[in-house]
Amino acid sequence: MEKWQVKKRPLCLERRFEFKSYSETREFLEQLGDLSEEKKIFPDISFGRTYVNLTIRPEGEANDSQITDVEKNFASEINGLLN
């Protein structure tokens, strides 16, 4: 889970991705969209011309929700999109 940060309130994983150009940002977002559809996991996304901020929240609305291997593996797969 390289470079992902665990936030406690609310519990989530967060990461910022920076790119050299809009075309690189767009390509990453397209790949992320495909991965999200495949895994049925949809992170919160905010982006600008050369960056993407992602937040992955654990499934469930309960206060005792935990970040599981599902979220951690998804974060690792997102990292893999950079290669």
**CATH code assigned at 11:** 3.30.1360.20
What pLDDT score does 59 carry?
A: 80
1: confidence class by pLDDT, cuts 50, 70, 90: low
Q: Check pLDDT > 90 for residue 56.
A: yes
Question: Which range marks the domain in which residue 68 is found?
Answer: 5-80
What span, in angstroms and rounded, lies between the C-alpha atoms of 57 and 65?
9
Q: Tell me the three state secondary structure of residue 33.
A: helix
4 in Cβ contact with 75 (< 8 Å)? yes
- For the chain, the domain total comes to 1
What span, in angstroms and rounded, lies between the C-alpha atoms of 41 and 74?
8
What pLDDT score does 83 carry?
A: 78
What pLDDT score does 9 carry?
A: 87
Give the pLDDT mean for 12-39. Answer: 98
- Between strands 11-18 and 5-8, the pairing is antiparallel
What pLDDT score does 79 carry?
A: 97
